[in-house]
């Protein structure tokens, strides 16, 4: 790790709305001045991910690594690790990155890799979380920020936000309300992690 810099690399596959929320709070709350932390790169496995344009508009470096151009998950993850490691990250943040990562990748970033999942884990791991919550008659749904382990959607829970399931809810309507909470919670969790890093460095 170079000096006291706490570089953040964010991985996306789509709109990048959580990435944008993180970058916005980083500026508003002066992460660079307070923690030596900034979002240094946004990487995507999809060249047409709208979030890449948002990142570029904010002056954040971007790169695309198309998983289809690699012969295996392991080969793709190795290329992805090489690109991430160029930035010497203190945190690698998954923000709508729609790839299941290999155990080797997860181990390489152990303690530095976090994800947000659109359910109240351990309920509804995997996909279609909102539809499944509605179909099961859940009164509440939400989202979870957790450390990433080799087991899908497991790992220590860092925070959760609860959203009520309303009568007549559609999966889309519920997803939009949950996403609003994601945009609040995910940046705040990252700020708390940066605060802990700063205090441990002082100690």
Return the H-helix or E-strand segment holding 7.
Answer: strand 6-12
Nearest CA to 93 out of 139, 130, 147, 164 is that of 147
Nearest CA to 173 out of 163, 183, 187 is that of 163
Give the whole-angstrom CA distance, residue 87 versus residue 134. Answer: 41
Contact 139, 164 (CB under 8 A): yes
Tokens of 194: 């940066």
Nearest CA to 117 out of 87, 95, 140 is that of 95
**By three-state DSSP, how is residue 83 classified?**
helix
Contact 179, 185 (CB under 8 A): no
Question: Which residue in the list 30, 87, 117, 146 is annotated as catalytic?
Answer: 117
Contact 116, 29 (CB under 8 A): no
Tokens of 202: 């002082």
Is position 30 annotated as part of the catalytic site?
Answer: no
Residues known to be catalytic: 117
């Amino acid at each position: 790790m170079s000096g006291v810099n706490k570089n953040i690399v964010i991985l996306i596959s789509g709109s990048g709305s959580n990435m944008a929320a993180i970058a916005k709070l980083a500026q508003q709350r002066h992460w660079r001045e307070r923690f030596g932390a900034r979002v240094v790169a946004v990487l995507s496995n999809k060249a047409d991910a709208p979030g890449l344009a948002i990142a570029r508009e904010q002056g954040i470096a971007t790169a695309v690594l198309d998983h289809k151009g690699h012969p295996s998950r392991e080969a793709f993850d190795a290329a992805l690790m090489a690109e991430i490691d160029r930035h010497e990250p203190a945190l690698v943040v998954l923000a709508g990155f729609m790839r299941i990562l290999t155990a080797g990748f997860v181990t390489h970033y152990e303690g530095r890799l976090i994800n947000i999942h659109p359910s109240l884990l351990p309920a509804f791991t995997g996909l279609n979380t909102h539809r499944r919550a509605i179909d099961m008659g859940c009164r509440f749904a939400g989202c979870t920020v957790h450390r990433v382990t080799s087991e899908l959607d497991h790992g220590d829970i860092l925070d959760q936000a609860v959203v009520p399931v309303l009568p007549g809810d559609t999966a889309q309507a519920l997803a939009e309300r949950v996403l609003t909470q994601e945009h609040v919670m995910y940046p705040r969790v990252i700020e708390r992690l940066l605060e802990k890093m700063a205090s441990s460095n002082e100690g």
